[in-house]
C-alpha cells in the first residue's frame, strides 16, 4: 500500500523511550492509546505521528518496532499493538507445554549432576530456561520491516533504535535506522551501529537473561551473541538524545512502591529463587532508567543557570522529559492472574517459589515479566490508558509545540 509523503520531522523531534519488562510492556500500549486519545480524540485521517524518534529495549523493542513499521498511521499502529497484546497467550511467546518443560528440566538436572562425566556435555547443555521460538513466528507474522524504510523515506519517522547487550564483547549496542546520515556514537561499554533493522534485533533485545536464549547478530561482519537490551544499559535516554531528540516521552514499567519498605519483617524467611530472580530482573529493567532521568534533570538544572550566549557554546543541550509509570504494582496484578497460565508453566514457577498470595516474598515480580496471558495484559493496557488520561493537561502541554 503506498504511503503519502509528509513534511519531515523538525529538528528536535520528540523522542519516545520504551523500556523493557517482558509481559509488563503491555502497559506501554495502554499509555500510548491514552496519549493518542488525548492528542487526537477524533482520529483525524492523516494525523501525524508525534514521535519522530522511537527507541526500544527488551519487550519495549517489540512495541517500538511495531510503531516504526506503521508510523504512517499511528492510530492503526496503536490499535494493532492493542490487538496483539490483548489477545496474547503464553504459548505465543514460549513453549509452556508439560513435555517440553519436563525435557528442559531433565537436561538441566543431568548437566548439573553428571555433566563432569558426560563427554560433549558442553554441546548438550540447554541454552535457556524457556524456549521462545514461538515469539519469532509471532513477530514475523505481524511486523513488516520493509515498511520501516518506506516510512523513513516518506518522513513519517526520523529514527528507530533498538538496543541489545553483546555477551561476546560485554558492550551495550544500539542498532538504529534513520533518515539522512547520523554518525554512530561510541562511549565506554556502549556504541551505536547503523543498520537495517529486522526481527532478529527485536529477538535479541527481548532475550531475558537465563530465561530466553541469546540471538546471533551480524555486527560489522562479525557474529555477536546478544541478549536483553536492558542489561548494561547505563544511559537509557542516550540513544534518543544522540538521534536528535529535544524532548523525550518515557514510558516505564516499574511502580515506585514495589520495594515494599513498610513490609519488612524482623525475621523474614530465606528468599525463594523466584524472589531473587524477580529482584534481579527488576534491577536490570527498572533501576537504570530512574537514575538516568534523575541525571538528566540535574544536567538541565545546571544548564538553566548558564547565560543564553554561553549555553550556545556548550556541547550539551537541555532535554525535557515526561515520564509515565504504573500507578499500581504490576507484581500484585500479576499474582491475581497467575492461574491463567498453562498448568505446566504454573507448576514450574510454583516450584521456584511463586504463589498467588499477596506480598513481596511471593515471586510476583518474576511472574509479572513472564505472564503472557490476555487477562493480565488487558488489565495492564487498561491501567496504562487510565494513567495517561489522569494526566491530560500534562500530556497536552508536553506535545503542544509539535501539534501547532
pLDDT at position 1: 37
Q: How far is residue 262's CA from residue 257's CA, in Å, rounded to a whole number?
A: 10
pLDDT in tens, 148-172: 999 999 999 999 999 999 998 889 9
The answer on pLDDT for 359 being more than 70 is no
pLDDT at position 305: 72
pLDDT at position 255: 72
pLDDT in tens, 373-397: 999 999 999 999 999 999 999 999 9
pLDDT at position 229: 85
The residue among 88, 82, 89 whose CA lies nearest residue 382 is 82
The residue among 47, 19, 21, 22 whose CA lies nearest residue 35 is 47
pLDDT at position 4: 38
pLDDT at position 157: 96
Q: How far is residue 100's CA from residue 103's CA, in Å, rounded to a whole number?
A: 5
* Measured CA distances, 100 to 71, 251, 341 (Å): 38, 35, 15
Tell me the pLDDT band of 252, cut-offs 50, 70 and 90: confident
The answer on pLDDT for 113 being more than 60 is no
Lowest mean pLDDT among 183-187, 233-237, 253-257: 253-257
| Average pLDDT score over residue span 180-201 | 92
Of 99 and 48, the structure prediction assigns the larger pLDDT to 48
pLDDT at position 134: 94
Q: How far is residue 192's CA from residue 299's CA, in Å, rounded to a whole number?
A: 23
Residue 148 near residue 156, CB atoms below 8 Å: no
Instruction: Give residues with Cβ within 8 angstroms of 43, minimum separation 6.
Output: 75
The answer on pLDDT for 65 being more than 90 is yes
Q: What end-to-end distance do the CA atoms of the chain give, in Å?
A: 29
The answer on pLDDT for 62 being more than 80 is yes
| Average pLDDT score over residue span 14-41 | 94
Lowest mean pLDDT among 88-92, 153-157, 341-345, 360-364: 360-364
Q: How far is residue 186's CA from residue 307's CA, in Å, rounded to a whole number?
A: 30
Of 361 and 163, the structure prediction assigns the larger pLDDT to 163
Of 52 and 253, the structure prediction assigns the larger pLDDT to 52
Supply the mean pLDDT for the chain. 83
Lowest mean pLDDT among 116-130, 200-214, 233-247, 377-391: 116-130
* Measured CA distances, 287 to 96, 174, 253, 279 (Å): 29, 19, 11, 11
Place of cell 489522569: 390
pLDDT at position 2: 40
The answer on pLDDT for 18 being more than 80 is yes
pLDDT at position 236: 85
Strand partners, 196: none
pLDDT in tens, 291-334: 777 777 777 777 777 676 665 555 667 788 899 999 998 988 99
pLDDT at position 117: 52
pLDDT at position 3: 39
Buried-state track 252-272, b at ≥16 Cβ within 10 A, e below 16: bbbbeebeeeeeeeeeeeeeb
31 alpha carbon, distance to own chain's centre: 13
Instruction: Give residues with Cβ within 8 angstroms of 224, minimum separation 6.
Output: 166, 167, 168, 169, 173, 216, 217, 218
Other C-beta atoms closer than 10 Å to the C-beta of 394 total 13
Of 120 and 363, the structure prediction assigns the larger pLDDT to 363
| Average pLDDT score over residue span 240-265 | 76
Strands 53-57 and 190-194, by their bridges, are: unpaired
| Average pLDDT score over residue span 8-23 | 77
The answer on pLDDT for 200 being more than 80 is yes
The answer on pLDDT for 106 being more than 60 is no
Quick one: how many helices (H) and strands (E) in the chain?
18, 10
- Share above pLDDT 90 across residues of the chain, in percent, rounded to a whole number: 49
The answer on pLDDT for 7 being more than 50 is no
pLDDT at position 71: 96
pLDDT at position 6: 37
Amino acid at each position: 500500500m503506498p504511503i503519502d509523503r509528509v513534511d519531515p520531522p523538525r529538528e528536535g523531534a520528540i523522542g519516545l523511550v520504551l523500556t523493557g519488562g517482558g509481559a509488563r510492556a503491555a502497559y506501554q500500549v495502554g499509555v500510548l492509546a491514552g496519549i493518542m486519545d488525548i492528542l487526537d480524540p477524533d482520529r483525524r485521517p492523516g494525523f501525524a505521528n508525534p514521535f519522530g524518534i522511537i527507541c526500544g529495549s527488551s519487550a519495549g523493542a517489540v512495541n517500538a518496532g511495531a510503531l516504526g513499521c506503521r508510523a504512517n498511521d499511528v492510530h492503526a499502529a496503536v490499535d494493532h499493538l492493542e490487538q496483539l497484546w490483548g489477545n496474547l497467550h503464553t504459548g505465543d511467546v514460549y513453549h509452556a507445554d508439560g513435555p517440553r518443560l519436563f525435557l528442559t528440566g531433565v537436561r538441566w538436572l543431568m548437566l548439573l549432576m553428571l555433566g563432569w562425566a558426560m563427554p560433549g556435555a558442553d554441546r548438550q547443555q540447554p541454552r535457556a530456561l524457556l524456549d521462545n521460538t514461538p515469539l519469532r513466528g509471532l513477530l514475523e507474522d505481524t511486523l513488516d520491516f520493509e515498511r520501516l524504510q518506506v516510512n523513513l523515506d516518506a518522513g513519517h519517522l526520523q529514527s528507530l533504535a533498538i538496543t541489545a547487550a553483546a555477551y561476546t564483547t560485554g558492550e551495550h549496542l544500539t542498532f538504529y535506522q534513520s533518515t539522512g546520515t547520523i554518525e554512530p556514537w561510541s562511549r565506554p561499554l556502549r556504541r551505536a551501529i547503523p543498520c537495517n533493522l529486522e526481527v532478529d534485533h527485536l529477538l535479541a533485545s527481548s532475550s531475558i537473561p537465563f530465561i530466553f536464549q541469546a540471538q546471533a547478530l551480524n555486527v560489522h561482519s562479525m557474529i555477536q551473541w546478544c541478549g536483553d537490551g536492558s542489561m548494561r544499559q547505563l544511559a537509557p535516554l542516550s540513544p534518543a538524545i544522540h538521534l536528535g531528540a529535544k524532548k523525550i516521552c518515557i514510558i516505564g514499567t516499574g511502580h515506585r512502591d514495589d520495594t515494599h519498605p513498610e513490609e519488612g519483617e524482623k525475621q523474614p524467611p530465606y528468599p525463594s529463587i523466584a524472589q531473587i530472580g524477580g529482584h534481579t530482573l527488576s534491577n536490570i529493567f527498572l533501576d537504570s532508567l530512574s537514575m538516568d532521568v534523575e541525571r538528566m534533570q540535574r544536567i538541565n538544572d545546571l544548564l538553566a543557570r548558564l547565560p543564553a550566549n554561553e549555553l550556545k557554546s556548550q556541547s550539551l543541550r537541555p532535554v525535557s522529559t515526561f515520564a509515565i509509570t504504573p500507578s499500581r504494582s504490576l507484581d500484585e496484578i500479576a499474582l491475581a492472574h497467575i492461574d491463567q497460565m498453562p498448568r505446566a508453566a504454573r507448576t514450574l514457577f510454583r516450584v521456584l517459589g511463586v504463589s498467588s498470595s499477596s506480598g513481596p516474598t511471593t515471586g510476583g515480580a518474576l511472574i509479572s515479566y513472564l505472564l503472557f496471558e490476555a487477562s493480565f495484559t488487558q488489565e495492564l493496557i487498561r491501567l496504562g490508558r487510565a494513567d495517561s488520561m489522569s494526566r491530560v493537561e500534562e500530556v497536552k502541554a508536553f506535545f503542544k509545540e509539535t501539534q501547532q
